[in-house]
Amino acid sequence: MQLESVKTILGDVLSLGPSARALTRDSALLGNIPELDSMAVVQLLAALEEHYGFTIEDDDISAHTFATVGSLTDFVTDKMAA
Amino acid sequence: MKDLAPEAFFLPADDGVGVGAGGQRYCLYQPALGVCRGALVYVPPFAEEMNKSRRMAALLALELARHGIASLRIDLHGCGDSSGDFADARWEGWRNDVGLANTWLEQRCGHRPALLGLRLGALLAVDYAANADPARAPQHLLLWQPVLDGATFLTQFLRLRMAGAMISATGAAENSTAALRTMLAAGQPLEVAGYELSPELALAIDGLKLAPLGRVRCALHWFDIGQPERALSPATDKALAALRERGVEVGMTRIDGPAFWASQEIATCPPLLEATAALAPRFATESADAL
Give the domain ranges of chain B: 2-148+214-284, 153-200
Chain A residues within 8 A of B162 when measuring between CB atoms = 58
Task: Among A19-23, B20-24, B120-124, B260-264, name the most confident range.
Answer: B120-124
- Torsion of Cα atoms, B284 then B251 then B126 then B158, to 10°: -130
Separation CA B114–CA B219 (nearest Å) = 10
* ipTM score above 0.90: no
Residue A57: pLDDT band (50, 70, 90) is confident
pLDDT at B21 over 80: no
Query: For residue range A11-45, what is the model confidence (pLDDT) as tens digits?
Result: 888 888 888 889 999 999 988 888 888 888 998 99
Q: Provide the H-helix boundaries in chain B.
A: 48-52, 54-66, 91-109, 120-131, 150-167, 177-185, 199-206, 234-245, 270-278, 280-284
Q: Contact B96/B132 with Cβ under 8 angstroms?
A: no
Residue B206: pLDDT band (50, 70, 90) is very high
CB contact (8 A) between residue A39 and residue B233: no
| Nearest CA-CA distance, residue B200 and chain A, Å | 23
Of A33-37, B16-20, B145-149, B186-190, the least confident: B16-20
Interchain CB contacts (distance < 8 Å): A and B: 59
User: Which amino acid type is present at position A7?
Assistant: K
Residues 6+ away with beta carbon under 8 Å from A11: A17, A19, A20, A21, A23
B160 touches chain A (CB under 8 A): yes
Query: For residue range B236-283, what is the model confidence (pLDDT) as tens digits?
Result: 999 999 999 999 999 999 999 989 998 878 999 999 999 999 999 887
Mean pLDDT on B74-81: 95
Which residue in A6, A15, A38, A51 has the most chain B C-beta atoms within 10 A of its own C-beta, making it the best mutation to test that interface?
A38
H or E segment to which residue A74 belongs:
helix A69-81
Chain B residues within 8 A of A58 when measuring between CB atoms = 159, 162, 176-178
| Nearest CA-CA distance, residue B155 and chain A, Å | 10
Domains along the sequence of chain A with CATH: 3-81 (1.10.1200.10)
Query: For residue range B275-284, what is the model confidence (pLDDT) as tens digits?
Result: 999 999 887 7
Packing angle of the helix pair A3-13, A38-52 (nearest 10 deg): 130
Task: Please name the fold of domain B2-148+214-284.
Answer: Rossmann fold (3.40.50)
Chain A residues within 8 A of B263 when measuring between CB atoms = 13, 15
Residue B3: pLDDT band (50, 70, 90) is low
Query: For residue range B98-119, what is the model confidence (pLDDT) as tens digits?
Result: 999 999 999 999 999 999 999 9
| Nearest CA-CA distance, residue A30 and chain B, Å | 7
Tell me, what's the pLDDT at B175? 82
pLDDT at A61 over 60: yes
Tell me, what's the pLDDT at B288? 46
CA-based nearest residue in chain B for residue A52: B233
Of B176, B226, B263, the CB nearest to A58: B176
Of B66-70, B122-126, B135-139, B166-170, the least confident: B166-170
Residue B209: pLDDT band (50, 70, 90) is very high
CB contact (8 A) between residue B166 and residue A45: no
Q: Contact B57/B29 with Cβ under 8 angstroms?
A: no
